[in-house]
Amino acid sequence: AAIPQAAAHTGRVPARSTTVSHQRRLVTVRAVEAPGYESPPLSEEVAAKIEELGLDFERSGLKYLSNDARMRAMDRKSVKFEKTKNEKCGSHMWSDVAELAQLIRDGKTKWEDLDLDDVDVRLKWSGLFHRRKRTPGRFMMRLKVPNGELTAAQLRYLGDCIAPYGADGCADITTRANMQIRGVQLEDADRIIAGLQERGLTSFMSGMDNVRNITGSPIAGIDPHELLDTRPLCHELNAAITANGAGNAALTNLPRKINIGLSSTRDDFAHCHINDVGLKAVRDPASGEVGFNVELGGYFSIKRNVVSISGDTFLTQEQVVPYCMALLEVFRDHGARNDRQKARLMWLVEAMGVDAFREAIEQRMGQTLRREVHVAYDDVWARRDVMGVHPQKQQGMFWAGACVPAGRMHTADFYALADAAEKYGDGTVRLTVEENVIVPNVPEAKVEALLADPFFQHFPVNGGNLLRGLVSCTGAQFCPLALIETKNRALELVRQLEEQLDIPSLVRMHWTGCPNSCGQAQVGDIGLMGAPAKLDGKAVEGVKVFLGGKIGENPELAKQFEAGLPVEHLLPRLKELLISDGGDESSGAGKALS
């Protein structure tokens, strides 16, 4: 079917290289020109509908959509969030947040008196997630950390941001190798955001119907096995999508969230298979060129969990940013807006077919794309564990992967990590999608001292085989959707299991507090998902147990093994699962996992 053409971007806004140039020292990132967009002219039909609904077009999220998408967004059956966006685009919060903060500082209003949709929904466009249910008046602020790379100065700033909130302030490394800070009060938010932007970071476009943090290889640029360094592309893509962190109104009203990940080795550290757009580096056997095969549509949700399918496209490195920008426009203008459970990219790809989807992107790029490249390997590639100390491709240099238990960090941890990165490495760190941290570029002569440093006892480089593989979503401590508490419970169970069992090899245990699966339960060797359960006839916190998730070159989602297991029964059940068939308690990981 012919794809109706919406307004592609015209004109350009000047490059603002601050975000990118601030960000890096070791790798040179090209300054990015953010695309300038024009609002497509209103069709008569759309204008009449806007009038009928009494919407303010200039303020609404309809502005940059195609006329077809505008009609679908205004459909009577369209969902609540589309209505909220039609009334006022979340992009207005990029400036409104300063006004609201000032009004609160001046004592002229309180967060309780502000428009409910602004506080609880639209502020997410600025990265501010009100935790009304768990900690009313406190916000979680989600950043964007392309390729998970942070500098010591940025780490110290994040420590400074949460320090004033005392016991309410903490932070989490996320399953998208990103950072979220907690305890934030609205009256401080504009200043925190300004400080982030001064330091080459942003929180804009990190929630609701926006592109999520772009993930890459956590050992990019230092990995002896990588085909390319994913960092420049992650930074450039992030800069283009977010208009260098300032916010890009034209790409902020997507039908739903969208995840993009880039992998540079057969390890697939970015988990391309569970990203809406997975770009997997390959060397074209014919030309020798290194580019990316595209995978499309992987995602998790309450209703559907699916691994990506081939997008039958090969991209050169230069095509990555234009391809993703065109793909986002196609998603924006053609994705479903009347059912949020059917709005993720996979549904659009399935509805259009892979070839028509590629053609729609080609039309917008104005060029034909090559088809997927087939690469045959005659060996098996075991996904590497990046925790611990490993030699880099640079002679005499090492990286140290350190466990951050359940990804949780406090003010002092930020300062100590920044100090450690400067003392032993080059003053930078990488976050991983397993919620851990890597200190790169440690000269051989400093490795011993690093390992003996008390800080690395707290964030162990040689952590236990369960701790090293632990991933946990936020859970009931802060998340309104959680069915169970996760992080603290997970850590306590890991402590007990590591004390009681001898676990001879890495076990990846993924905890997720509800079926949205932010903690990626289906990816783990063992996945635990918050679910209802009964004990002695009473409703109690429970889990579904998933087993056998495979990651890396030939990924498979874990399968449900058990439902309705009360959390009280978890310790004995996990012990059972971890002890091998014939096993005594020292024989290690096994039975159900093998």
Residues that bind ligand SRM (CB under 6 A): 129, 140, 142, 172, 174-176, 178, 180, 212-213, 257, 259, 274, 299-302, 344, 473-474, 478-481, 516-518, 520
Q: Tell me, yes or no, if 88 is annotated catalytic.
A: no
Choice between 71 and 481, CB closer to ligand SRM: 481
Choice between 203 and 512, CB closer to ligand SF4: 512
Q: Are 345 and 328 in contact (CB under 8 A)?
A: no
Given the residues 519, 524, 527, 552, the one annotated as active site: 519
Q: How far is CA 373 from CA 72, 177, 378, in A?
A: 37, 28, 16
Q: How far is the CB of 497 from ligand SRM (least distance, A)?
A: 21
Q: Which does 180 bind (CB under 5 to 8 A by kind): ligand SF4, ligand SRM, none?
A: ligand SRM
Q: Which residue is nearest to ligand SF4 (CB)?
A: 513
Choice between 111 and 314, CB closer to ligand SRM: 111
Choice between 37 and 139, CB closer to ligand SRM: 139
| Dist CA 388 CA 497 (whole Å) | 21
Q: Tell me, yes or no, if 324 is annotated catalytic.
A: no
Q: How far is the CB of 573 from ligand SF4 (least distance, A)?
A: 21
Q: Which does 514 bind (CB under 5 to 8 A by kind): ligand SRM, ligand SF4, none?
A: ligand SF4
For position 516 contacting ligand SF4 by CB under 6 A, the verdict is yes
Q: How far is the CB of 512 from ligand SF4 (least distance, A)?
A: 4
| Dist CA 362 CA 369 (whole Å) | 7
Q: How far is the CB of 17 from ligand SRM (least distance, A)?
A: 25
| Dist CA 31 CA 239 (whole Å) | 8
Q: How far is CA 447 from the centre of its chain?
A: 31
Query: Which strands make up the sheet holding 128-130, listed edge to edge?
Result: 128-130, 139-142, 179-184, 170-173, 408-409
Stretch (H or E) spanning 320:
helix 320-334
Neighbours of 58 (CB within 10 A): 9
- Number of residues in contact with ligand SF4, rule: CB under 6 A? 13
| Dist CA 368 CA 452 (whole Å) | 55
Q: How far is CA 396 from CA 172, 249, 419, 442, 521, in A?
A: 32, 46, 22, 9, 38
* Full 3-state SS string of 339-402: CHHHCCHHHHHHHHCHHHHHHHHHHHHCCCCECCCCCCCCCCCCCCCCCEEEECCCCCEEEEEE
| Token pair of 586 as six digits | 């020292």
Q: Tell me, yes or no, if 72 is annotated catalytic.
A: no
Q: How far is the CB of 555 from ligand SRM (least distance, A)?
A: 13
Choice between 483 and 577, CB closer to ligand SRM: 483
What does the per-residue mask of binding to ligand SF4 show for 473-492, with x meaning CB under 6 A? xxx---x-xx----------
Choice between 66 and 477, CB closer to ligand SRM: 477
Backbone angles phi, psi at 583, to 5 degrees: -75, 145
Q: Are strands 260-263 and 149-151 parallel, antiparallel or unpaired?
A: unpaired
Given the residues 49, 182, 256, 342, the one annotated as active site: 256
Q: Tell me, yes or no, if 513 is annotated catalytic.
A: yes
Q: Tell me, yes or no, if 256 is annotated catalytic.
A: yes
Task: List active site positions.
Answer: 142, 256-257, 513, 518-519
Residue numbers of the site for ligand SF4 (CB under 6 A)? 473-475, 479, 481-482, 512-514, 516-519
